[in-house]
Structures are given as structure tokens and as C-alpha cells.
Amino acid sequence: MREEVDFQEAVDMYQDDPTIILEPWGMTISHLRLIIKGIPDTPYDRGSFVFEIKMPENYPYYPPYVYAHTLMWHPNIDSSIPPGKLNICLDLINPDLIGTYDVGSGASGWVPTKTLSVIIEALKGMMHCEFPFFNPQDPLNFEAGEQAQHAYHRFVKKAKEWTEKYAID
């Protein structure tokens, strides 16, 4: 089963990465908990951010559902969107963008050759403020995107406050 192969590949790939924890959410590997730890020199430093990943029955032909559970101030993640809907702006997991490619940005939608590790790497890039994954020019949270582009010091202050309040034990 493809889910098993992708899960094992991701476990092997991130076993020595202290910023990634991947584990089953319950009793199956088609429902996963991903924890991404914030790194120094980002507003998310010391935070632990929980993401839920659910593999659909038609995986790998359809992308996994990914939801950010931890409240965070991020241009590409909107914590006000309820579970069951997409709260992460990432072409890779958007079911409306399957098979698409944006020549200008290089962003692409899901295709069956992509894996769980590709999703984890993109989410890690978002949380570690790495281009092109941290993308305030194409925000889901418009206020955070505007701050990140035009008042970065205010964005960092608020993101650190939210990290302290919601993502640090």
C-alpha cells in the first residue's frame, strides 16, 4: 500500500531531524500527526506546531488533507478556518489544483509521484520561514501577509506572541 511506503520513507528521512516528529494519530498510518518545531531566528522559535494529515482512499491520486491545529500568526496559515476545511495555503495539498503548474512561481499542485515527504518538507519550509514556502505575497491570512510585507517588525512581534501563547508548553 502506498501510504505505508510513503510513511516509512518519511520516518526514515526525518529520524535524525530534531524539528520533525511524525506519528500515527490513532491506530492507522493513513491518519498522522506531524509536529514541526520552530527554529532560532524565526518568529516560531521554540514552538511546537501540530498538523493533522489524512490520506484519502484514492491516495496517491488525490492529495492528503492537511490541517494546522496549533494557532499561529502566519501569512500562509489561517487559524480562524475551522477543521474540515483547508487552513493552509499550499498548492501541493489543494485538491482544486491537482496536476497544475504555475510557471511564474514554480508552484505545482499534487501529482501521484509526489509523496508525504514532499508535503512535510513544504510545511517545514513554511514554519522555518524559507522561500518559497513562506510566502507573504500570496497569503491566506491577509493581515499577517500585509504585516510580513510592509511592517515586518510588527509581524514578528505578533507571531512571537502567538507562538509563546499557543505553541510553547
- pLDDT, mean of each 10-residue run, the chain (169 residues): 94 98 94 98 98 97 97 97 95 94 86 97 97 93 98 98 96
CATH class of the 2-166 domain in this structure: alpha beta
Whether residue 129 lies in the annotated active site: no
Grid coordinates belonging to 153: 517588525
Q: Which residues contact 123 (CB under 8 A, 6 or more apart)?
A: 34, 36, 51, 66, 88, 90, 133
Point out the catalytic residue in the list 72, 77, 88, 89. Answer: 89
What pLDDT score was predicted for residue 160?
98
Per-domain boundaries in the chain: 2-166
The confidence score (pLDDT) of residue 105 equals 76
